[in-house]
Amino acid sequence: MRRIAVLDAPSNLGLRPPTETSVPGCAKAPGALRDHALLARLGARDAGCLTPPRYDPADWRPGDGVCHARSIAHYSVALAERIGEIIDAGEFPVVLGGDCSILLGSGLAMHRLGEAVGGHVGLVFVDGHSDFRHPGNASYVGAAAGEDLALVTGRGQADLAAIEGRRPYFRDIDVVVLGLRAQDEYRLDLKAAGIVNRPVPALRAEGAARTAQWARDQLADCAGFWVHVDVDVLDPAVMPAVDAPDPGGIAFGELELLLAGLVDTPHCLGVEITVFDPDYDPDGAYASEIVSTVVAGLAPVQDADAEPFRPIAPPAPVPDRLRPLPAAAGPGRLRRPASPVDGVPAPRSARSCSCGASHRP
């Protein structure tokens, strides 16, 4: 049995302002989900909250690069530390975002883990959008929440795509995308990159449970995998409380089956939930539905027969006469080296921080 640890990552740094005088409401999502007894219903340990830097659009203009880049980079390092500590303790992290830019922190943690076990960690990206905008296919970038998949696969500016000199956090061949809308602007770019995906029509035709197994099969050679869930994968007819609702999504029941099928293996390392915006859920009805879906979907993690993570492809043993044996895995395994983060300068003041373009193209 694996114990779940819930960590709040309420960053909204990757989204554009909804209006000139407001900030994205997804930073309120962890609190809204906790209000519906998420932790108690999961039987989870409270792993606390990682407070993000200030959201400040300042004077960002197209061509300036990704908004809030320095703040996102430093937040990603801190988030990777916290996720690493949870996994080192033998627990299953459930990270409550926040926007999709928290994937950079998760990706950094997974790259560290892959390096520690001598393999590669995969990503199952459950999202209504590809989030694959990058300088190679767009006139400019700006909002990391619409560019997170591009960044974690090594595309884009080095201060975000190559933190600690790690690039990419996930290889293209180790990524599976589920739940795209059929008309997604960058679906052909995904195909050209060799990133396999199953859009909503195919997911529905095959069924959510079989799609989850298909995704796991694609990552059979990975040491483990992380699951990213953007709740805009749901159809706005059932869950419109997101920044960019698009028709043609899946239902709550399908998301539950997807989650259950993905986490029902010790090689699933953890899950993050992103982009729910309580500002569009005044009576809490959508928060309640999300909590019920997450609790049911994560039930296999709490199964009495569930085993802790063991890498699929551990490093081959090396004789003592050739080199010292590696240090045993344990606390600190995923922590960053003492050297400074490559390409990431110290945080600047919130007043000089710049912000980006709209989340979606």
Q: What is the CATH number of the domain that holds 70?
A: 3.40.800.10
Q: What total of structural domains would you count in the chain? A: 1
Structure tokens at 132: 């694959």
- Structural domain contains residue 196: yes
Tell me: pLDDT of 327 over 90. no
66 vs 61, 146, 151, 347, 354, CA distance in Å? 10, 10, 10, 15, 8
- Structural domain contains residue 339: no
Bridge-based pairing of strands 92-97 and 175-178 is unpaired
Question: φ and ψ at 37, to 5 degrees?
Answer: 60, 35
Q: What confidence score (pLDDT) does residue 11 get?
A: 98
- Structural domain contains residue 73: yes
Cβ neighbors of 57 (< 8 A, separation 6 or more) are: 17, 67, 354, 355
- Structural domain contains residue 122: yes
Structure tokens at 72: 């996102």
Answer with the residue of higher pLDDT: 304 or 85: 85
Closest CA to 78 of 357, 347, 267, 310: 347
- Structural domain contains residue 191: yes
What is the chain's Cα-based Rg? 19
- Structural domain contains residue 296: yes
The conformation of residue 139, written as its DSSP 8-state character, comes to S
Structure tokens at 230: 């953007």
Tell me: pLDDT of 218 over 50. yes
Tell me: pLDDT of 33 over 50. yes
Distance CA 8, CA 30 (A): 6
Q: Which helix (H) or strand (E) holds 4?
A: strand 4-9
The conformation of residue 340, written as its DSSP 8-state character, comes to P
- Structural domain contains residue 356: no
Q: What confidence score (pLDDT) does residue 334 get?
A: 43
Per-residue pLDDT tens digits for 45-90: 999 999 999 999 888 998 999 999 999 999 999 999 999 999 999 9
Tell me: pLDDT of 41 over 80. yes
Per-residue pLDDT tens digits for 258-267: 999 999 999 9
Alpha-carbon dihedral angle through residues 277, 280, 282, 287, given to the nearest 10 degrees: -40
- Structural domain contains residue 139: yes
Domain that holds residue 46: 4-56+63-314
Residue length, the chain?
Answer: 361
Q: Which of 187-191, 192-196, 248-252, 326-330 has the lowest mean pLDDT?
A: 326-330
